[in-house]
Structure 1
């Protein structure tokens, strides 16, 4: 959207020169590049956060698995002692 400071070109206006149009196109390309870079930075940050969340989740799962394995071994020992 255009603010009060932005110029708006009316393509049907025959008073625009080729230079005006080239300048407008250059401005649009520059703005597109800035937006693309911002998008890529946000995308990379999002992927980084997702990876960190997966690692935290994975660490929690490993800790839970370790705890269950230990508990399982203890239960096996109790069953073996009770069977004697």
Structure 2
């Protein structure tokens, strides 16, 4: 990738050498004007510095690509973890619903049994009263 970038810069150099020096001077003035107009917080390189080279730019681009790949990988991991958490949450919610349903069924059974025992108890009380008279 660095070779391609260097090659494209070499092509640009050959094109720019054929242009007139007056347009080159005005372009440099525009570049310096734009550079001076930027805030210093946004600058990574000092573009007005003569020491700034294509290799610096290629290295910066490679660093950005590496950082992008790292961030993309991290994003994919977090995305997968988020999906996993959603799935486990949905599964636990469905498990809880199943537990709730089974508890409701058990409660219904116990209520029916309780009513049967109450009626039996009432019958026994009535029989006890009858026997005591």
Alignment TM-score, normalising by the size of structure 1: 0.78
**1: CA distance between counterparts of 2:120 and 2:62?**
86
Offset at residue 19 of structure 1 (A): 1.3
The superposition leaves residues 2-46 of structure 1 with CA deviations (integer Å, 9 ceiling, x where unpaired) of xxxxxxxxxxxxx98111111100111111111111111000000
Does residue 78 of the first structure (1) align with residue 93 of the second (2)?
no
Give the equivalent residue in structure 2 for 1:8. Answer: none
Structure 1 moving runs of 4+ over 2 Å = none
Unaligned runs of 5+ in 2: 1-55, 127-133
Give the equivalent residue in structure 2 for 1:22. Answer: 64
Does residue 51 of the first structure (1) align with residue 74 of the second (2)?
no
Give the equivalent residue in structure 2 for 1:31. Answer: 73
Q: Which has the higher contact order (CA 8 A, sep 6+)?
A: 2
Give the equivalent residue in structure 1 for 2:13. Answer: none
